[in-house]
Each structure stands twice: as structure tokens, then as C-alpha cells.
Amino acid sequence: MQSTERSQLRRLPKRGSHDEKVIHEILDATFVAHVGFCVDGQPFVIPTNFGRKGNILFLHGSSASRMLRELEKGIAACVTVTLVDGLVLARSAFHHSINYRSVVAFGTARKVEGEAEKLEALRVISEQIIAGRWDDVRLPNAQEMKATSVLEFRIEEASAKIRTGPPGDDEEDYQLPVWAGVLPISMRPGQVIPDERLHPGAAIPEYVTRFKTGD
């Protein structure tokens, strides 16, 4: 993956990486991204689900979506993800921070046209959200496929940035009687809530009971 001026890390570059493996691992740990683009000089940032396959991110939504209609023109776009791993509580207000993993990716998108290619892209998105679900459900019918647009966002370049570890206070502040440390933060599933119209014979799938994300 190439790196140019636009993906160069300027602030605290020691926390950054252009390593493809690191970037892919962060992208694979989530399924929500924010897509940034400009229309007539007005910037927009839209949250959306995505699925990764190699250096391609698949985005989908309504065929009437302004974001998708603009991106399919091939305009420059930026896709970002952030995972919060902990609150870093220092002895001073200035040195409070967050442990996190993030990716900023630059590229352009094209509309996925072929029926089989489009269906595969939707499968990739579904599997990124919860692996195993695609094989259980009814697949989209012709009308639903027509109402859905899918874009292939090709990552031209990207950078990752990661912070780990304890707070870094000024030396004299270590003598203050103030608690300091890290409060880990993670997204974990709660108790499953069955649909009221669930078929009597439908058991909870294993991929639901074992679901986890952010790792």
C-alpha cells in the first residue's frame, strides 16, 4: 500500500503505521466507518456499515442515497474507523488521553453493477457485521437488489494510529495523591432479545451467543 503526503502522520508519528497488516486488523475489528466527501465545496461525513475484502471496502445503502450517488462518480473520499480501548486518566487534566486504534483510508469508489458481484459484496458486508448470518437468512430478491446500491471503495493509501499504555504525567505530578491509570473500554453484546414473532422452532444461533467485536 502506497503512502504519500496526504496519509503522512504528522502529530505523534511514533504511534502511526502504514503497515497493511496492522491496517487490515483494525478494519476487521469493527463494522462501522465514517465516510468523508465534498459536494460543491460542502463537506459531509456519513456513518455507514462496511465490509473489507483485501484492499477494498464495500459500502451499501439505498439507491437514493446521496452519499453513494456522489461517490460512484469517482470523487476523492476518505474512510475512517476508530476503536476506543480505554480512558487514560492522568494526574493532570492536560495529560488525560484515550487508548485507541484508528485507520484513515483514502481512495475512490465505483458502483458494483454485476448481480453476482453485487450479491458477493453484500455477503462480505453481512459477514463483517456478524459472521455466519448470511447462510441462515433469505437472500435479497430482485426488487430489494434494485433498491440497494453497492460501492467498491478501493483503498489507495491509508495510515493507522494506535495509543496504548498508561498516562504520561509530568515528573513532579507523580507525587500528587491523585489516582491515575487506565479504565479499559470495550463493546460487548448484552442479553439477547428474541423477536416477538419468532418461529417456535427457531433456536438462537451459535454465532449470536458467541458474538464479540473490537478484538
Low-confidence ranges of the chain (pLDDT < 70): 1-13
Structural domain includes residue 214: no
The per-residue pLDDT for 34 is 98
Rounded CA separation 159/20 (Å) = 9
C-alpha cell at 192: 439477547
Q: Is residue 95 part of a domain?
A: yes
Task: Please report whether residue 198 resides in a domain.
Answer: yes
Residue 88, SS3 per DSSP: strand
Specify whether the CB–CB gap between 187 and 31 falls below 8 A: no
Whether 41 is covered by a domain: the verdict is yes
Question: The dihedral of CA 114, 119, 121, 122: what is its sign?
Answer: positive
Q: Which three cell numbers stand for residue 116?
A: 453476482
Tell me if 185 sits within 8 A of 87, measured CB to CB: yes
Residue 14, pLDDT score: 73
Range of the domain at 138: 5-209
pLDDT at residue 16 in the model:
78
pLDDT at 213: 79
Inside any domain, residue 36: yes
DSSP 166: S
Position 155 in a domain: yes
Residue 146 belongs to some domain of the structure:
yes
Block residue for cell numbers 488521553: 97
Query: What pLDDT is stored for residue 13 in this prediction?
Result: 67
C-alpha cell at 119: 450479491
Number of domains in the chain: 1
8 A C-beta contact, residue 104 and residue 80: yes
Count of residues making up the chain: 215
Contact 78, 174 (CB under 8 A): no
Q: Is residue 215 part of a domain?
A: no
CATH at 125: 2.30.110.10
CA distances from residue 59 to 38, 119, 134, 154 in whole angstroms, order as listed: 17, 12, 17, 11
pLDDT score, position 43: 96
pTM value is 0.91
